[in-house]
A and B are shown apart, each in its own frame.
Chain A
Amino acid sequence: MATISFRSLMLFSAVLRLFLIIYGEWQDIHMEVRYTDVDYFVFSDAASLVALGKSPYKRSTYRYSPLIAFLLIPNALIHRTWGKILFSVSDLLVGYFIRTILKLRGVPENLCTYSVMLWLLNPFTFTIGTRGNCEPIVCAMVLWIIICLMNGNLLHAAFWYGLVVHLRIYPIIYAFPIILTLDQSRFQSGKKPILTDWSSSKIQSTNGSGSIKVSDPCHIWVSLKSLFTRGRLLFGLISAAVFFFCTGFFFYLYAWEFLHEALLYHLTRTDPRHNFSIYFYHIYLHYEHEFALSEKLISFLPQVTVQLVLIWRFAQDLPFCFFLQTLAFVAFNKVITAQYFVWFFCLLPLVLPWTNMKLKWEGWACILFWIGAQSHWLMWGYLLEFNGKNVFMQLWMASLLFLAANTYVMVTFILRHTSSPVFKRLEHGHSNIPTKID
């Protein structure tokens, strides 16, 4: 297969996105079904309100940080496609960052290009930005945080992490793996960490799963103390400060409306309307009365358990840990909409160079099972929403199948993954506790 240069790929991707933005404008004007995502109109309306000095939360269903509305003010002042252009540029930036991360770890050029193509030429991802969804901005920020950590820029990583958690709450799940990665034996502030090269990790996987074990129970206290290193404390303090500053600033501007719509709503959200989550029908059937505490806990336990185990096992292999965590977070969430898939799509290219999974036939099995389960759900969803058939039971069973597909993908990736902690152990480690780190 002829190799494609990264520059050509970026150029083609940019032209494709520009074409789709222009086409989207044409379709919105000339056809009844609009190309533009309904969320984009929500952002634009909120931005118009901000431009007029009003609260963006006067726009119903605007449940984002005011930052998004601020970013889209030019929609009201210059042209309504400004936001789409911004999101598409972020989309391209994600492609650039994917390549940067892979190159930092010595991944060969052709493998880098194929990995980047998985993002840039994925029909799902290039329609997301051009239809006016803001997720590419979040994805770009997450990847930028990884780059900052890989370059030893702890302060930058902390700043952007605080900002991205303010923007979209879900990246809070990355807090623990980041903290665990900042192990003093591998990462020291002010020093550029040594990255595990792709070629060395493929030959020998002496670092194992990257899980953390304490070999001597008698030194648990010393181990706990070692958790509070300068780097970890700095990261925690700065990211928390940025998060609380942003939250405090917008609370000052917009008061409880902001707090409720942008933060609390997402923490307590239970949507009875049909979505990919296995919980939707259960929520609908119980919507007329409050959930018992035991019911809330039971639905929370699988999510928390999986997250903690994945962090504990894979924290040192940061991109892989992020990927699995995000996929699990989405799969076990009480509400799943299609835009959430972008959260782990942007991380998938980062783990592919380390997988032993062959496209034939394990790779195809994952792809077909996942797409098939999703299409199956969409079919029943269409019959319910657009044909008015009572297929709640069938739709719920389709969501169970989709969970099975997500589980299958996760299990396959874990079994076929070559563990590769991002950071190598430093030659003169500062750690003096008998903590065995694999």
Chain B
Amino acid sequence: MGIQQFKLQVSLRLGIALYFFASISCCKHASTINEVGSCTSNLDDSNPSSSALHGVNEFITEAYFEKHASLIDSDFQGFLSKEIPLEFCEVLQDKLEPVPKLSISHRHLIGEGSHRRLSSSIRLEIQPGSKFTLPAHFCDAIVVEILPSGVFADPFELQHLLQRGVFTGAAVFGDTNLELPSVRSNRSIVEIHMDIGPNVLSGNNNGLEINIEVPLHARYAPLGEHEFSRVEFSPPDLFTRCSFEGKSHKQSCIFLSTNKSLELKAGAVVWDVPCGIKEHTGIVSVVTFFSAIVSALLIVFTAFHYSDTTGCNNLKQM
């Protein structure tokens, strides 16, 4: 047994030393490879604060957070209305603009408990008289969800969906901390890109409907007098982005397509999250500490009692 253990010790030490040497070498080699290509990696770009998970898409919201530290509704709406080049498209300049419109036909939360999916049915409408010859193009629906306080999206979960091809792009901006309760966290924005097919502006795609389900999770709500804390979702901002093959280069055009008054008529989506009740504070604290002390005393007493009785038993044996 002694020789076997010695051999095991030597093997273990040798194996561990070789392993780390190999790992460090691989690490150096891998960082060199990355300059010309990429290692196999589970993340395209692991910046958790912005958590952009995509192929090569650009995200509308990213530009906002490059200039602002946190999400303020008025600032963000101002950003959307003034800083995004909407409805200007060189390719379409001398033609009647098709201006595709996206609208929400149905919106609700699926599931129960702390983990649900925000489901939105989005309808594509193209203005009449817009069916004329356009260069080849691909279009994406872009959904920008401003999440209310108390709800968050998991960037890594979105990555999993991205890998399964559910979205063509997904990103979370703002507070992406998955663990903090509402009182210690800030709001965030989820931007989802969905492919709505090729040449939608030229073909008969009026009335196309797409469904988007965004997995969301509830944070621990602020304490309240009642059992539940209500979280309300505002309607999302919808965009269509089409990439055209130009004569010399590719061009993207972005169209804003939201009519928020329609969404308000449909009724806000609400999520009732269970919350701690302030009234419980006193009794919970007292009983918690009392239980810990009683359990500790029981163990301490037993340990002392064990020692004493063992001593007595030894005396009996003598």
Q: Are B275 and A77 in contact (CB under 8 A)?
A: no
Contacts of A278 in B (CB 8 A): 288, 291-292
Q: How many residues of A contact B (CB 8 A)?
A: 83
Instruction: Say if the beta carbon of A268 comes within 8 Å of chain B.
Output: no
Tell me, in angstroms, the Cα distance from A14 to B48 when the chains sit together. 37
Tell me, in angstroms, the Cα distance from A302 to B156 when the chains sit together. 39
Could you pull out 28 A-B pairs where Cβ atoms are within 8 angstroms?
A45-B42, A45-B43, A45-B46, A48-B42, A51-B26, A53-B31, A60-B178, A70-B20, A73-B23, A76-B30, A76-B41, A205-B314, A272-B220, A278-B288, A282-B285, A284-B223, A285-B276, A286-B285, A301-B296, A302-B292, A305-B300, A306-B296, A386-B112, A392-B277, A411-B298, A414-B299, A414-B302, A414-B303
Instruction: Say if the beta carbon of B222 comes within 8 Å of chain A.
Output: yes
CB-defined interface of A334-358 with B at 8 Å, one 1/0 digit per residue?
0000000000000000000000000
Residue B30 contacts which of A41, A52, A313, A332 (CB distance < 8 angstroms)?
A: A52
Instruction: Say if the beta carbon of B39 comes within 8 Å of chain A.
Output: yes
- Smallest distance from the beta carbon of A303 to chain B beta carbons, Å? 8
Instruction: Say if the beta carbon of A331 comes within 8 Å of chain B.
Output: yes
Contacts of B27 in A (CB 8 A): 50-51, 53, 70, 73
Given A51-B30, A73-B23; A305-B291 close (CB under 8 Å): no
Contacts of A273 in B (CB 8 A): 179, 181, 220
Instruction: Say if the beta carbon of B65 comes within 8 Å of chain A.
Output: no
A-B contact count (CB 8 A): 215
Tell me, in angstroms, the Cα distance from A305 to B299 when the chains sit together. 10
Residue B306 contacts which of A44, A100, A287, A415 (CB distance < 8 angstroms)?
A: A415
Contacts of A61 in B (CB 8 A): 178-179
Contacts of B305 in A (CB 8 A): 415
Instruction: Say if the beta carbon of A1 comes within 8 Å of chain B.
Output: no
Given A205-B310, A285-B223, A414-B302; A305-B288 close (CB under 8 Å): no
Binding site for A on B (CB under 8 A): 1, 5, 9, 19-20, 23, 26-27, 30-31, 34, 39-43, 46-48, 112-115, 156, 176-179, 181, 183-184, 220, 222-223, 227-228, 272-278, 280-281, 284-285, 287-289, 291-293, 295-296, 298-300, 302-307, 310-311, 313-314, 317
Q: Are B23 and A208 in contact (CB under 8 A)?
A: no
CB-defined interface of A112-140 with B at 8 Å, one 1/0 digit per residue?
00000000000000000000000000000
Instruction: Say if the beta carbon of A247 comes within 8 Å of chain B.
Output: no
Q: Which 8 A-B pairs have the closest CB atoms?
A: A53-B31, A302-B296, A390-B274, A390-B227, A60-B48, A386-B113, A209-B307, A48-B41
Instruction: Say if the beta carbon of A49 comes within 8 Å of chain B.
Output: yes
Instruction: Say if the beta carbon of A242 comes within 8 Å of chain B.
Output: no
Q: Are A205 and B299 in contact (CB under 8 A)?
A: no
Specify the chain A residue showing the minimal Cβ separation from B32: A53
Tell me, in angstroms, the Cα distance from A297 to B300 when the chains sit together. 19
Instruction: Say if the beta carbon of A168 comes within 8 Å of chain B.
Output: no
Binding site for B on A (CB under 8 A): 41, 44-45, 48-54, 58-61, 70-71, 73-74, 76-77, 80, 100, 103-104, 147, 151, 156, 204-206, 208-209, 211, 271-273, 278-279, 281-282, 284-288, 295, 298-299, 301-303, 305-306, 309-310, 313-314, 328, 331-332, 384-393, 396, 400, 403-404, 406-407, 410-411, 414-415, 417, 419, 438
Residue B281 contacts which of A44, A285, A299, A309 (CB distance < 8 angstroms)?
A: A285
- Smallest distance from the beta carbon of B1 to chain A beta carbons, Å? 7
Other A-B contacts than A48-B39, A104-B1, A386-B112, 4 sampled, CB-CB below 8 A, are A41-B156, A51-B31, A288-B183, A388-B272
Specify the chain A residue showing the minimal Cβ separation from B1: A103
Specify the chain B residue showing the minimal Cβ separation from A388: B113
Q: Are B310 and A53 in contact (CB under 8 A)?
A: no
Tell me, in angstroms, the Cα distance from A204 to B295 when the chains sit together. 31
Q: Are A313 and B306 in contact (CB under 8 A)?
A: yes
Q: Are A407 and B299 in contact (CB under 8 A)?
A: yes
Specify the chain A residue showing the minimal Cβ separation from B218: A388
Q: Are B115 and A76 in contact (CB under 8 A)?
A: no
Tell me, in angstroms, the Cα distance from A387 to B218 when the chains sit together. 12
Contacts of B317 in A (CB 8 A): 204
- Smallest distance from the beta carbon of A9 to chain B beta carbons, Å? 17
Given A45-B46, A388-B114; A400-B287 close (CB under 8 Å): yes
- Smallest distance from the beta carbon of A45 to chain B beta carbons, Å? 5
Tell me, in angstroms, the Cα distance from A328 to B27 when the chains sit together. 40
Contacts of A309 in B (CB 8 A): 299-300, 303-304
Tell me, in angstroms, the Cα distance from A205 to B176 when the chains sit together. 58
Tell me, in angstroms, the Cα distance from A337 to B303 when the chains sit together. 27
Contacts of B183 in A (CB 8 A): 287-288
Contacts of A404 in B (CB 8 A): 291, 295
